[in-house]
Structure 1
Amino acid sequence: MIYTAHYASPLGGITLASDGMALAGLYFDGERDFPDLSTARKKDLPVFGEAMRWLDLYFAGREPDFSPALNPTGTAFQQAVWAILRTIPYGETTTYGAIAHRLEEDTGKRMSAQAVGGAVGRNPISILIPCHRVIGADGSLTGYAGGLDKKEYLLALEGVIE
C-alpha cells in the first residue's frame, strides 16, 4: 500500500508518498513525471512528519542535519546514481559527466553522462535526493522534472546562483 500526504512549499504543492515506513516519492504537483497515485491512501505517518520538518528547514534556507528514511524504487544503476546524488553537499553542484566518471571508478565499467542523466531524471524523491544539484558540463541548468524555474529557485536558495 502506498500512502500520501501533501506539503505546501514556496514552489507550490508537493505530494509525498510512502510505503508506510520510508519516503518513496516527493513530487511537485503537476510535474511531468507525476505518478498515478489514485489508489494511494492519505495517512498521517511519522515519516511524513519528518519529511515536512526537513522541508520546513530547507525552505527556510537552512541545511537540515537529518534525513527521513528514504526508499526510492529503481534499477541497480538508478540506485547507484541516486546514492551519489545524496553525497553532493548542500550549496554545491556537480555534472552528469562527473557522476559518470565516479561510477566508472566504482564499477570499472564505462558510463555515459547521458545514461546518468536518464537515471537522474527518474529520481522519485526530489529535493531530498538532490538531483537539482546536477548541471551541464558548461554550467547550464539542464532538465528538471519540476521545471527549470524550480531548479533555479532551489539552487538560489542554497546560494549556488543568484
Structure 2
Amino acid sequence: MHYYTYYNSPLGKILLVSDGVALITSKLECHRFYDKFSQEATKEKDDLKVFEETKTWLNRYFAGENPSIKEIKLKPVGSHFRQVIWKMLCNIAYGETVTYGELARQAAIQLDKDTMSAQAVGGAVGHNPISIIIPCHRVIGCDGNLTGYGGGLKNKIHLLKLEGVDTSEFKIPTKGTAL
C-alpha cells in the first residue's frame, strides 16, 4: 500500500508518497507527471516517520540550508538505467550544475559503454520521481541552456537561486516553453 501527504512549499504544494518506510515520490502539484504519481497514493497518512523526516528536510532546504540526501530513506522506482542516472544526480553538489552531456559521459563510463546519448540521460532525469530531493534541477543543457524541468523553468530557476547559483548567464528558451 502507498501512503501520501502534502507539503506546502514556497513553490506550491508537493505530493509526498511512501511505501510506509521509504519515500518513493516527491512532486510539485504543477509537475507535468503529477497525475501519474498522485495515482500511486492510496491512503492519506500524515504521521509516517519518513514524511516527518522529509518535511523537516524540505523546511531546512527552503530555509537555505544544505541537508544531506542521506537523511531520508529514498526508494525511487525505475529501470536500472534510470536508477544509475538518479544516483548520479544525488552526487551533484548543492549549488553546482552539470550538463546533460557531462552526465552522459559519466554514465557511459559507469555503464561500461563507448558512448551515451544526452537525450537518453535527459529522459531518465525527466522521470525522476523524487524531485528537489534528488536534484534534477541542477542539470542544464549545453552552453548554459536552461532546458526542461517537470516543475517548470521558473521553479528550476528559483531552486538554483536558492542554492546560490548565479543564473544570470543561463539561456532561457523563449519559444514553446512557459516560465
What TM-score bracket applies, with the shorter chain setting the length?
Answer: over 0.9
1:75 corresponds to which of 55, 76, 79: 79
The answer to whether residue 121 in structure 2 is matched with residue 116 in structure 1 is yes
What is residue 63 of structure 1 aligned with on the other side? 66
Report the Cα distance in structure 2 between the residues aligned to 1:10 and 1:36, rounded to whole angstroms. 20
Aligned ranges for residues 15-30 of structure 1 at < 5 Å? 15-30=15-30
SS at match of 1:4: strand
Q: Which amino acid aligns with 1:114?
A: Q
Aligned ranges for residues 15-54 of structure 1 at < 5 Å? 15-34=15-34, 35-38=36-39, 40-43=42-45, 44-54=47-57
Q: Which amino acid aligns with 1:158?
A: E
The answer to whether residue 163 in structure 2 is matched with residue 161 in structure 1 is no
2:142 corresponds to which of 137, 146, 151: 137
Using the size of structure 2 for normalisation, the TM-score is: 0.87
Using the size of structure 1 for normalisation, the TM-score is: 0.96
Stretches of 4+ aligned residues off by more than 6 angstroms = none
1:87 corresponds to which of 73, 91, 106: 91
Q: Which moved more, 1:27-36 or 1:92-101?
A: 27-36
Structure 1 residue 104: deviation in Å?
A: 1.2
What is residue 11 of structure 1 aligned with on the other side? 11
SS at match of 1:125: coil
2:132 corresponds to which of 122, 127, 130: 127
Report the Cα distance in structure 2 between the residues aligned to 1:40 and 1:61, rounded to whole angstroms. 32
Q: Is the 8 A contact 2:14 2:26 kept in 1?
A: yes
Unpaired runs of 5+ in structure 1?
Answer: none
Q: Which amino acid aligns with 1:79?
A: Q
Q: Which amino acid aligns with 2:58?
A: L
Percentage of identical aligned residues: 52
Q: Which amino acid aligns with 2:20?
A: G
Matched length: 162
Q: Which amino acid aligns with 1:96?
A: Y
Structure 1 residue 30: deviation in Å?
A: 2.9
1:114-137 Cα offsets, whole Å, 9 max, x none, are 000000000000011000000011
